[in-house]
Structure 1
């Protein structure tokens, strides 16, 4: 009997359980299937169509991934406009420093433009964070539904972002685990080697942490600015921060897209297995 034929029985047995490293094991022997013609421990599970059961527990997440991407693209577009706005402010401040005449209207319009950009950035950023976390938590919930032995409770996919110290590493660990375990589950079904996104996720997280540090520095510099020279330095820091945000946004989009593609592929494979199992039952 081949490994695939053995697994047909294992998937319908009450004693099955999933080990992330080794696959489907027997609760009694703690081993993979090794029987020839029949298993003496086999007990049929009437609810066993394991795949249909899993499929029913999986919640749709594709739309959430798309909205998370769209909002980051919107932030990226606003960042480019903000860079232009900061450059115009920098140019205006240099004119004042060099003694060129600048009207009150020009100053008012500059402050209005910068104020609008700032408010839009905050609003869009908050909405984007909420959308991203909703997608992230749903993906981790689905991993739990697949019984892939996740390391953390699914609530940490949202909560870890708001806990000091923990937010420096746990969201990264969960994202890495999502990518790794979905790759494993795909390989279990297709026997294909699935490309790891670990370097991409690592680069995204490194930029995220670095961006947070730079953002705090820029915010402090802006609040402390009183002289013309300090305003010029603060504006320069703003432009550098915006330039830094561009690759961070692109990496975030790529991470969402690549992890979401694995999730969608897994959903497709599970649906195929579900149809196959239903056909066999009929």
Structure 2
């Protein structure tokens, strides 16, 4: 019997870089939500490991122990045949590989190994809104976050995370506004607009496609880059407005990955 799991896109609504440890790891403060688009994973127990990759972004995905799915299974002490339907673009700042790994750890009941696979994996163990701090190990669910109608836009540019951090000149920045309580959606959107992604400027400085993607999200209540890029998001008033914006962007930029999505609220 095939066991199936969904690995949703991770969206950093905010990403404040608050410091850097002596070992080089950066300290973060981020509000993370998850969307209804993502990769799909299947698993059948077997004596040996195998990963079969399909989907629109299957090209270039390793099918050996370089893949986080393989490494997650090894840490969990299981072997078998995995199928991965790769629907999320690579290196896009929306946690594709990390979400895949977290999905496998959930399947195997091996969540304790999450941080060993990367800083973004612990937050991907749950699909609810969470505040992620430290180097990714400090995650706390956040209530009162509304489900958001969004457009995700990836202009097809791969942005290596280490390069973005190298271009970040100011490593000690203010944390998020800690008043994580909102009376309604309007209050949340106002709060969100006042926050930041400290990696957006350094990522955009070497990749002009990122400013182009942000410009394309016209009409959004809030637009920002997710993670270290290059995917950008726009928050729209409702699903109809998001779909209309996504259709318009996709028509004008047929080579971009564009999706109207809704996030999980709390």
TM class by shorter chain equals: under 0.3
Greater radius of gyration (CA) = 1
**TM-score, structure 1 as length reference:** 0.23
Q: Which has the higher strand share?
A: 2
Q: Which has the higher helix share?
A: 1
